[in-house]
Chains A and B, each alone.
Chain A
Amino acid sequence: MIQLFHVTKYYDGCLALSDISLRIEKGECVLLTGPSGAGKTTLLKLIFGAEHPDEGQILVQNRNIARLGGSDVPYHRRTMGYVLQDFKLLPQRTVSENVALPLIIRGLSSFESRRKVLEALRAVGMDHKLSTIASVLSAGEQQRVCIARAIVNSPIILLADEPTGNLDPQLTTEIASLFKAINTRGTTVMMATHNRQVVEQLNGRILRLDCGHLVSDQGVYR
Chain B
Amino acid sequence: MKRLWYFIREAYTSLRTHRTSTLIGILTTAFTLISFGIFLLLYHNVHNLLGQVQHTIQIIVYPKNDIESGKLHDLQQGLKTDPAVDSLTFISKQDALTEFKEQFPEEVYLLEGLGESPFPASLILTMAAKTPTTDLIANLVNRLQHHPDIDRVRYNRDWIERLTLIITYMEFGALVVGSILALASVTIIAITVQLAFHTRQQEIEILRLIGATSLFISIPYLIEGAILGAAGAGIALGFLRGGFELFTHKTQGLSVFGGFSSALEFFPLPLSLILIAGGILLGCLGTLTTIYGSLRFRL
**What class of interface size applies to chain B in its complex with A?**
20 to 34
In the assembled complex, how far is the CB of residue B213 from the closest CB belonging to chain A, in whole angstroms? 5
| B216: Cβ under 8 A from any A Cβ | yes
Task: Point out the residue from B3, B203, B213 that lies within 8 Å of A104, measured CB to CB.
Answer: B3
* Neighbouring A residues of B2 by C-beta, 8 Å: 104, 107-110, 113
Task: Point out the residue from A49, A73, A74, A88 that lies within 8 Å of B206, measured CB to CB.
Answer: A88
- B299 touching A102, Cβ below 8 Å: no
| A90: Cβ under 8 A from any B Cβ | yes
* Neighbouring A residues of B254 by C-beta, 8 Å: none
In the assembled complex, how far is the CB of residue B13 from the closest CB belonging to chain A, in whole angstroms? 8
Task: Point out the residue from A51, A101, A110 that lies within 8 Å of B299, measured CB to CB.
Answer: A51
| B292: Cβ under 8 A from any A Cβ | no
Stretch at the interface among A35-43, A75-83, A206-214: A75-83
**What class of interface size applies to chain A in its complex with B?**
20 to 34
Question: Which of A75, A84, A105, A109 has the most CB atoms of chain B within a 10 A radius of its CB?
Answer: A105
| B6: Cβ under 8 A from any A Cβ | yes
| A137: Cβ under 8 A from any B Cβ | no
- Contacting residues of chain B (203-230) with chain A, CB-CB under 8 angstroms: 203, 205-214, 216
| A50: Cβ under 8 A from any B Cβ | yes
- What separation, in Å, do the CA atoms of A70 and B215 have in the docked complex? 12
Question: Which of A51, A73, A74, A78 has the most CB atoms of chain B within a 10 A radius of its CB?
Answer: A74
* Neighbouring B residues of A74 by C-beta, 8 Å: 208, 211-214, 216
Q: Which residue of B lies closest to A102 (CB)?
A: B210
- Mark A35-63 against chain B: 1 for CB-CB distance below 8 A, else 0: 00000000000000111100000000000
* Neighbouring A residues of B211 by C-beta, 8 Å: 74-78, 102, 105-106
| B114: Cβ under 8 A from any A Cβ | no
| A149: Cβ under 8 A from any B Cβ | yes
- A88 touching B299, Cβ below 8 Å: no
* Neighbouring A residues of B209 by C-beta, 8 Å: 77, 82, 84, 88
- 11 A–B contact pairs at CB < 8 A? A70-B296, A71-B214, A74-B213, A75-B211, A77-B210, A82-B210, A90-B206, A104-B6, A105-B207, A105-B216, A107-B3
Could you tell me which B residues sit within 8 Å of A by CB distance? 1-3, 6, 202-203, 205-214, 216, 296-297, 299
Known pairs A78-B210, A88-B205 / 12 extra A-B pairs, C-beta < 8 Å: A70-B299, A75-B211, A76-B211, A78-B211, A82-B209, A88-B202, A89-B206, A90-B203, A101-B206, A105-B211, A109-B2, A110-B2
